[in-house]
Amino acid sequence: MRIGIVGAGAVGALIARELSKYDVEVYVFEKEFDVGMGVTKANSAIIHAGYDDEPGTVRAKFCAKGNEMYTTLSKELDIDFKRIGSLVLAFSDTELRVIEELYKRGLENGVPGLEIWDRDKILAHEPNVNQEVLAALWAPTAGIIEPWMIAIAAVENAVENGAKLFLNTEVKDIIVEHNHVRRVVTNRGEFELDVLVNAAGLYGDYVSKMAGVETLPIHPRKGEYILLDKEEFGGFVKSVLFPTPSTLGKGTLVTPTIDGGILVGPTAVDLPGERKFREDTSTTIQGFEFLMAKAFKMTPNIDFRSSIKTFAGLRPETPIKDFIVGRTRVEGFFNAIGTRSPGLTAAPAIASFMVEEIQEAMGVTFIRKDNFNPIRKRIRSYVQLPLDEWDKIIKEDPLAGNIVCSCNKVTEREIVEAIKRGARTVDGVKFRTRAMFGSCQGGFCGHKIMKILARELGVDVSDIVLRNEQTKILYGKVRT
């Protein structure tokens, strides 16, 4: 059976990996130059516990289960995942009633370890929290992760197990004959398929319509963020701090990042559904003022003079505020769209469900491969080695001793390895190695990375782009 997947974000990547466990042909179509560069690239990077989702929703069905699956998944894919827990803070009697309701909801959703803490326990755990806090909901299973690494690692593992990845490949049309998917038309040719899974993120409704399946419209919800320098502000909080949620979402959080920084965000601004707004990741003064006000309420001592980066991400929102996952009226066409928060958390569970759903809907039983290898190893980070061991490696491999990114101590060998694994852009290197994630945000190493990319790819440095062909870096020489 030939199964195609549209979109290589976290959801699509994990579906591809799950399918690669079986004796089927798997094709992954991604319109960007790299995987994980859409919704997956810019979000809060939280693995949610599952107390926020209303029982009976698709979100509730997959969130707590997906959370649990990350323990094994992160080990198999060798990606950093930390269960640091989360606190939903209440500052009034009204907010206290909200967290009590969240507690009950979480129990119904099967979330383990939930507790309601009083002020003393909160401040003992998080001394930088506003001392006017009354109580908080503690969820120990909540965690932090690098979301793009989920997509990168899952695709690497899927490809190792036989999946075929087609980057810079945009699906233009879906050919349906006698109510059955037959092939997809892309900018790089046509592909015969028996099954097509739509995991196209912000463009999920567009792809669904190509197959003749009307679905709920998707519109982008913009979230702006502020990142604080780990060198200046690392350790400010130990857990994910949430306000009590509103109708627009879980609210502005203050959280550690996986590499030790502090992230504040997001805002929640609904944008129109037109195509141009689905790429609008601009940031605003109003957004940052909003974030700072919200952060100061929870953590009055936070210092935004330590900010090193501001950015925005887009989430795929639908009128029902729920996932659209499963079979459709067109045989062989399946949706995995509308995966707004907690889509990242739910992704492993959605992937597992999708394999079962395809088999049931198509009336087949997949044969599991005897040689499936679930293990993927990360790019080696030399700075974590003992100095004497590192020195021995450098004598045999000088590239392992050439520090390119001074902030995060990323070597030329790591960058070359990222390119070997598929990085073709500056962002591709950045998200695989953490180069350019430090205090200078690429100010001192960006040009070095461009030169290494050009050398390894055999192209001129002017051909190197940040993310895709719309994000050129060099436009010409200043002088000849």
Contact 433, 414 (CB under 8 A): yes
Q: In the chain, count H helices and then E strands.
A: 13, 23
Who contacts 394 (Cβ-Cβ below 8 Å, separation ≥6)?
400, 401
Contact 147, 41 (CB under 8 A): yes
Contact 40, 341 (CB under 8 A): no
Nearest Cα to 311, choosing from 227, 433, 430? 227
Structure tokens that stand for 311 in this block: 């950015």
Helix (H, G, I), strand (E, B) or coil at 207: helix
Q: Which of 48, 178, 180, 219 is catalytic?
A: 48
Own/partner contacts of 472-475, CB < 8 Å, gap of 24 or more, are: 473/426, 474/450
Q: Is 219 a catalytic residue?
A: no
State the Cα–Cα distance between residues 308 and 447, nearest whole angstrom.
19
What is the b/e burial string over 305-339, where b = at least 16 CB atoms within 10 angstroms of the residue's CB?
Answer: ebbbbbbbbbbbbbeebbbbbbbbebebbbbbbbb
State the Cα–Cα distance between residues 366 and 357, nearest whole angstrom.
12
Helix (H, G, I), strand (E, B) or coil at 3: strand
Who contacts 74 (Cβ-Cβ below 8 Å, separation ≥6)?
80, 81, 145
Cα angle 335, 339, 74 (rounded to 5 degrees) comes to 105
Contact 337, 218 (CB under 8 A): yes
What is the b/e burial string over 152-164, where b = at least 16 CB atoms within 10 angstroms of the residue's CB?
Answer: bbbbbbbbebbbe
Half-sphere exposure (Cβ direction) of 46: Cα atoms closer than 13 Å: 32
Q: Would you say the C-alpha torsion 211, 216, 219, 220 has a positive or negative sign? A: negative
Helix (H, G, I), strand (E, B) or coil at 167: coil
Residues carrying an active site annotation: 48
